[in-house]
A and B are shown apart, each in its own frame.
Chain A
Amino acid sequence: MPDVTFIIDGKSVTVPAGTTILKAAEQLGGQIPTICYHDHCTANGLCRICVVEIKGVKPLVPACLTPVREGIEVSTSTVRAERSRRTILEMLASAVDLSQAPEIQKLMDENHADQLRFAEGKRREYPVLDDNPMYVRDYSKCILCWRCVQVCADDAQFTHAINFTGRGFETSIGTFFDKPMPETTCVFCGQCVGVCPTGALKPKREALLEQGVSLDEILQATRGGQKRRRKSP
C-alpha cells in the first residue's frame, strides 16, 4: 500500500494508507482515549470517546474508525473534542454503574468529568442474571460497548448467542427471546467475559468471592465425583 502523509497535532507524519487516526497516533506515542475500542475486535465507533477534529470537517470524527487521508490536519485535543469526551463520560456516569471500570474512572479524572452533572438522570438498572454455572451478567454495569457481541460473532467465536435488544435508552445486550444462556447457542467460551471493560460480565467464582461467599463454600459447591461410579456389570 502507498504511504499517506498528514498532520496530527501540528506534526507532519507519513503512515501506510488505510491506517486509522487512532493507530497513527499510537505509532507516534500519542494516546487518544478509547472505551469501546479493543485491539482484538472490529472497531465500530460506538462510544465516540475517541473523537478528534479534522480541519475543514464539520462533525467530530471517531479516530478508531477513520483512516488518515493525504494532507488532512488532525487535532486530537481541541476544546470541542474534549468537551464532547467529558460529556460522554458524564452521561455514562449518570446511567451506568462504573464502579468496576477502573479505566473509565481514570478517564473521568483525566478529563475532569463531573460524575454528578446529570445526577437526576434515570439509571440503567437490571437484575443480575445468574443463569449458568460459568459466568454472571450484571447489565447495570454495561455501557453497550458491543465487544461481547462482536467476539460472540465474527470477531472470534462465530456463535451469535447474544446481540443488542431493545431501542434507545432501553437498549441492552440479551439473548434471543431472553432465553437463559444454556438454552442459547452459547458454548461458554467466555470470550465475552474476557473483553468486558466494566465487570458487567464476570466469572461466577469471582462474583461469589466478591459477594463474600467463603472459599470453602465455593469449593464445596464444586461438583463432586459421586455420580461417576459404575457398578460392576
Chain B
Amino acid sequence: MITPDRTVPTTCPYCGVGCGLELHIKDDYIFKVTSPFDSVVNHGNLCVKGRFGYDFVYNKDRITTPLIRKTVQAPGARTQAFDRGQWREVSWDEALDYTTGRLVEIYKRDGADAMAVYCCAKATNEDNYLLQKLFRALFRSNNIDHCTRLCHAGSVVALQMALGSSAMSNTAAEVIHSDVFLVTGSNTAETHPIIALQMKAAVANHGAKLIVVDPRRVEMVNWATLWLPEKPGTDVPLFSAMAHVIIKERLYNQDFIDRRTEGFEDFSRSMEKFTPEYAEAISGVDRNLVIQAARMYAGAKNAAIYWALGIPEHSHGTDNAMTLIHLALLTGHIGRKGTGLNPLRGQNNVQGASDSGAMPWHYPGYQRVDDEASARKFEQAWNIEPGGLNRRLGLTTTEIMSEVRPGGVRALHIMGENPMMSEPNLNHTRHMIEQLEFLVAQDLFINESGAYADVFLPAASWAEKDGTFTNTDRRVQRVRKALEPRGQARADWQIVCDLAGRIEKNLGCPQTAYWAYQTPAEVLEEMGSVVPEYAGVKYPRIEQQGLQTPVWDDNHSGTPYLFAESFPRGKGKFYDCDYIPSVEMPDEEYPFILTTGRLLEHWHGGTLTRHSKLDELNPEARIEINPADAARLQLEDEQAVRVSSRRGSIVLRAWVTQRTTVGVVFVPMHFAEAAANLLTIDALDPLAKIPEYKACAVRIVAAAKQELARPEAKVGRGRY
C-alpha cells in the first residue's frame, strides 16, 4: 500500500459540473484521485476524466520552458512548428521582454483594434480577470473573448434579453425535486456525467419523468418517457409547437404570466401558426409526441429544462434558447426548487471566465463596455484617466479570427485555447491565423494553434496553481496548488502579471493599473470590489465549500436558485419567434446533416485528454451513421469513409449505430487527424455570434483503410 505524502482537496479541471477531488500525492506524483463522499456537488462520484484523466500533467511532451521560434514568422507565411527543434529555449525574461516588445510595437503602430486575446474557460477566475484587465487597461482593446462564444453564447443572449440573467437558474442536484424534466441538445451522460447520474436517480428513484428532445438517441433516451427525435436545427418550430399546445389547451399559468411576464398577448398570437402539424412537417417529430410533451411539461408540479450546446450552436441559436425560455414563462416553471432554465455549461470555468469579463461586450460582471457609468467605474478601479477605456464593443472569438488582416487584428494572445481545433471551418481559420503578425501561446502543450505561435509561455496546470473555478450552477470553488509547477512553468496569473508590468513600463503609463498581486486571493478580492455578484466571495469563506453567486456581501450565504421573486430585468419578456432554417440544408450533392459534439473520454480540442491514458479508451474518431443510411450507401461498420462538406474533407471510421437518426451523422470534435471542424460551417447567429456547429451538409463515400490515421487501431467499446 502506498501512503500518500499529502492529499490535496481541489476542483476537477474538466467539465462544468465542478466535482470535488482529492489528489493523493507521493513524491510529487499524483497516483490516485478520490472524491470525498460529502462533496456537495458530486457526493463522491466522478467520471473517467475526473478520476483518471490527470496524467497529462506528467506527459513528456509537456512544454516546461519558455520558447521562441527559431525562424521569424512573417504574416501570410506563418507555419506550424510541432517539433521542439524549431524552437529555441529561452529564459522567462527573454520570452516576456520579447513578447512585450512585439505587442507594444504593434499597439503603438496600429492601435487598440490590432490587439486581441483569447481568454480561457479552463483557467481560473483570477487568470481570466487579469488577462482581460491587461488588454483593456493597457491596450485599450475590447477584442477579448473565449470559448463561451462557441458554446452557450446563444443561451446567454436569450436569457439576457428575456430575463436579464445568463446562468443556470437552479442547482443541478435539484433535479430530484422535479416531477418532469426536459433535456434537449445535451448528451448529458457523456458531457456532464455527474449531473446525468442525478438525472438517472431522479427517474429511477424519485419517480420523475424525462422528456428528451434530440436528433441523436443519446444515452439519456434510455431513461426517457418521451423521446422527440427532431431533425437538427428545428428547435424553434418544435418548442413553439409545444407553446402552441400549452396556449391552445390553456395549460399555461395565468397568474404567473400576469405577475411576472410581459408581451404574452403578442406572443400568443405569434404562436398560432406553430401547430403540431407544422412542427411535424419541419422537425420530423410525430405531432402526438409534441402534444404529449407539452401536456407533460405544462401539467407538472415542478418541471425543469436542461439544455446544452445542441440549442445555442446554430445560426438561430438565440431563437432556439428563447423558445425554451417561453415554455418556462408560460407555465411558471421557474423560480422554485426543481424548476428552472438550466443551460449546462461545458467548461469547468466557462461561467467564471464569463463572470470575470473575458467577453468583448462586457466588463467583469456583465457590465457593458458601452455604458458610460460602467466604463467610469473600471477607469477608477484600474487607475485609468477618465475616458481612457475603450467604449466600443470588441470582436467575438470568430470575428477576431476573420478580422486578421492589415488594418485589422495583427496580434493575438491565446491562453489555453485551441482555435485550430475549435473554430468552425478550420481551413478558413488556418488561412487567417497564418496572416497574424504576432501570436503568443500560453499553454501546457504545443497544440494545433500554439504550433503557429512566435512565442510559447509554459503555463502551470490546474494542479500546480491556486485559484477559483465557477461551475455550471454558479458555485465558486477552490482550486489548490498540489504540486510545484513542472520545470519552469508558471501559473497563468503570474505570467499575466509579469507580462503586464513589463508592458505598462514599456508604454510609459503614468500610473499603474496594479499588477503586484502576491496571491490569487487578492485578485479575487479586487474582482469582488467591481462585480457585485462576487462581493461576498472571499477565499476564507470557500475553503471548505464553494458559494453560489450572487453573493452580495460578506454575510450573504449564496443563491442556490434564482428568480424566486423577480427577474433581474423586472418582468420576463416574451419575444416573437419565427422559424429560420439552418444556413446549409442537405441537398442531392451533400445529402446528410452533420452534427458535432463531445465524447465521454475526451475534452474539446484534445490538448489535455489526447495527452492522457484517456486516449487509449477512445483512440480515434468515428462517424456515427444510422443503419438505414449505411445500408443505402452500402457501408459496413468500422469501414473507412471520406466525409466532405463544401469546406473540407476528412477520413475516419464509420460506426453504424442507432445512436443517430436517419439522415443525420455525428462526428466528435476532439480528433485532429479527422477534425470535425474542417467540415462545419462558419455561419453565425446574428445576435450571439455563435457558429452553427450543429448542422451542416455533408456527403459520405467509402475510403480505403490506408487513408485512416490509424488503420489498425482497436475500435469499439461495450459502453453505450
By a CB distance below 8 angstroms, the chain A residues around B46 are 189-191, 194
Q: Does B118 contact A (CB under 8 A)?
A: no
Among A13-21, A51-59, A109-117, A151-159, the one that faces the other chain is A151-159
* Contact indicator A185/B60 (Cβ below 8 Å): no
Q: Beyond A134-B613, A193-B51, A205-B55, is A227–B718 a contact (Cβ under 8 Å)?
A: no
By a CB distance below 8 angstroms, the chain B residues around A151 are 45
List A residues 207-233 near B (Cβ within 8 Å).
209-210, 215, 218-220, 222-225, 227-230, 232-233
List B residues 23-80 near A (Cβ within 8 Å).
24, 26-27, 29, 31-35, 37, 43-48, 51-52, 55-56, 58-61, 80
Cα–Cα, bound, A118→B203 (Å):
47
By a CB distance below 8 angstroms, the chain A residues around B709 are 227
Cα–Cα, bound, A232→B1 (Å):
49
* Contact indicator B719/A133 (Cβ below 8 Å): no
Report the minimal beta-carbon distance from A231 to chain B, rounded to whole angstroms.
9
List B residues 551-588 near A (Cβ within 8 Å).
none
Among A24-32, A61-69, A79-87, A176-184, the one that faces the other chain is A176-184
* Contact indicator A199/B1 (Cβ below 8 Å): yes
* Contact indicator A189/B672 (Cβ below 8 Å): no
* Contact indicator B427/A233 (Cβ below 8 Å): yes
User: How many B residues, CB 8 Å from partner?
Assistant: 63
CB nearest neighbor in A for B203: A158
Cα–Cα, bound, A223→B616 (Å):
8
List A residues 159-197 near B (Cβ within 8 Å).
159, 161, 179, 182-191, 193-194
Cα–Cα, bound, A40→B46 (Å):
13
* Contact indicator A189/B193 (Cβ below 8 Å): yes
User: How many A residues, CB 8 Å from partner?
Assistant: 50
Cα–Cα, bound, A31→B77 (Å):
73
* Contact indicator A222/B60 (Cβ below 8 Å): yes
CB nearest neighbor in B for A175: B718
* Contact indicator A225/B648 (Cβ below 8 Å): no
* Contact indicator A188/B52 (Cβ below 8 Å): yes
* Contact indicator A194/B34 (Cβ below 8 Å): yes
By a CB distance below 8 angstroms, the chain B residues around A228 are 447-448, 606, 610, 672-673
By a CB distance below 8 angstroms, the chain A residues around B26 are 209
Q: Does B200 contact A (CB under 8 A)?
A: yes
List A residues 74-128 near B (Cβ within 8 Å).
99-100, 102
CB nearest neighbor in B for A161: B718
Cα–Cα, bound, A156→B43 (Å):
9
By a CB distance below 8 angstroms, the chain B residues around A186 are 718-719
Report the minimal beta-carbon distance from A1 to chain B, rounded to whole angstroms.
18
CB nearest neighbor in A for B713: A227
Partner pick for B60 among A159, A203, A219, CB 8 A cutoff: A219
Q: Does A130 contact B (CB under 8 A)?
A: no
Q: Beyond A156-B197, A190-B46, is A225–B59 a contact (Cβ under 8 Å)?
A: yes
Cα–Cα, bound, A132→B618 (Å):
12
Q: Does B497 contact A (CB under 8 A)?
A: no
CB nearest neighbor in B for A220: B60
Report the minimal beta-carbon distance from B675 to chain A, rounded to whole angstroms.
7
Looking at A132, A151, A188, A203, which has the most chain B CB atoms within 10 Å of its CB? Answer: A188
Q: Beyond A156-B197, A224-B60, is A206–B606 a contact (Cβ under 8 Å)?
A: no
Cα–Cα, bound, A190→B46 (Å):
7
* Contact indicator A209/B29 (Cβ below 8 Å): yes
Partner pick for A100 among B1, B55, B56, B445, CB 8 A cutoff: B1
Looking at B430, B445, B613, B709, which has the most chain A CB atoms within 10 Å of its CB? Answer: B613
Cα–Cα, bound, A224→B675 (Å):
19
Partner pick for A233 among B29, B58, B59, B678, CB 8 A cutoff: B678
Partner pick for B616 among A133, A157, A189, CB 8 A cutoff: A133
* Contact indicator B710/A227 (Cβ below 8 Å): yes
By a CB distance below 8 angstroms, the chain A residues around B634 are none
* Contact indicator A222/B612 (Cβ below 8 Å): yes
Q: Beyond A188-B52, A210-B2, A230-B448, is A223–B613 a contact (Cβ under 8 Å)?
A: yes
Partner pick for A224 among B59, B193, B205, B427, CB 8 A cutoff: B59
Partner pick for B649 among A99, A224, A233, CB 8 A cutoff: A233
Q: Does B717 contact A (CB under 8 A)?
A: yes
Cα–Cα, bound, A231→B51 (Å):
33
List B residues 3-41 near A (Cβ within 8 Å).
24, 26-27, 29, 31-35, 37
* Contact indicator B1/A210 (Cβ below 8 Å): yes
Q: Beyond A222-B612, A223-B613, A225-B610, is A206–B48 a contact (Cβ under 8 Å)?
A: no
Looking at A99, A190, A215, which has the most chain B CB atoms within 10 Å of its CB? Answer: A190
By a CB distance below 8 angstroms, the chain A residues around B719 are 159, 184-187
* Contact indicator B204/A187 (Cβ below 8 Å): no
Q: Does B87 contact A (CB under 8 A)?
A: no
Report the minimal beta-carbon distance from A158 to chain B, rounded to whole angstroms.
5
Cα–Cα, bound, A215→B26 (Å):
10
CB nearest neighbor in B for A189: B47
Cα–Cα, bound, A122→B42 (Å):
41
CB nearest neighbor in A for B605: A228
Looking at B31, B35, B601, which has the most chain A CB atoms within 10 Å of its CB? Answer: B31
Partner pick for B52 among A158, A190, A191, A233, CB 8 A cutoff: A190
By a CB distance below 8 angstroms, the chain B residues around A199 are 1
CB nearest neighbor in B for A225: B61
Q: Does B82 contact A (CB under 8 A)?
A: yes
Cα–Cα, bound, A187→B194 (Å):
12
Cα–Cα, bound, A183→B719 (Å):
7
Q: Beyond A222-B60, A230-B448, is A188–B672 a contact (Cβ under 8 Å)?
A: no
Cα–Cα, bound, A190→B51 (Å):
7
Q: Beyond A194-B51, A223-B616, is A185–B200 a contact (Cβ under 8 Å)?
A: no
Q: Beyond A185-B720, A209-B26, A225-B59, is A190–B48 a contact (Cβ under 8 Å)?
A: yes
* Contact indicator A179/B675 (Cβ below 8 Å): no
By a CB distance below 8 angstroms, the chain B residues around A39 are 37
Cα–Cα, bound, A199→B719 (Å):
25
Report the minimal beta-carbon distance from B271 to chain A, rounded to whole angstroms.
37
Q: Beyond A193-B51, A210-B2, is A182–B717 a contact (Cβ under 8 Å)?
A: yes
Q: Does B611 contact A (CB under 8 A)?
A: yes
Q: Does B703 contact A (CB under 8 A)?
A: no
By a CB distance below 8 angstroms, the chain A residues around B448 are 228, 230
* Contact indicator B718/A185 (Cβ below 8 Å): yes
Report the minimal beta-carbon distance from B618 to chain A, rounded to whole angstroms.
10
By a CB distance below 8 angstroms, the chain A residues around B201 are 158
By a CB distance below 8 angstroms, the chain B residues around A215 are 27, 29
Q: Does B106 contact A (CB under 8 A)?
A: no
Q: Does B615 contact A (CB under 8 A)?
A: yes
Cα–Cα, bound, A157→B43 (Å):
12
Q: Does B282 contact A (CB under 8 A)?
A: no
Cα–Cα, bound, A223→B44 (Å):
27
* Contact indicator B45/A224 (Cβ below 8 Å): no
Q: Does B617 contact A (CB under 8 A)?
A: yes
Cα–Cα, bound, A224→B56 (Å):
9
CB nearest neighbor in A for B610: A228
Q: Beyond A187-B47, A209-B29, is A230–B672 a contact (Cβ under 8 Å)?
A: yes
Q: Does B173 contact A (CB under 8 A)?
A: no
By a CB distance below 8 angstroms, the chain B residues around A156 are 45, 197
Q: Beyond A182-B717, A203-B52, is A157–B197 a contact (Cβ under 8 Å)?
A: yes
- A sample of 11 inter-chain contacts (CB < 8 A) reads A40-B44, A134-B617, A156-B45, A161-B718, A184-B718, A206-B31, A223-B612, A223-B613, A224-B61, A227-B673, A228-B673
What 5 A-B pairs have minimum CB-CB distances, sorted nearest first?
A190-B51, A188-B48, A183-B718, A133-B616, A133-B613
Seed contacts A183-B716, A229-B82; 6 additional CB < 8 Å A-B pairs: A40-B43, A187-B47, A223-B610, A223-B613, A223-B615, A223-B616
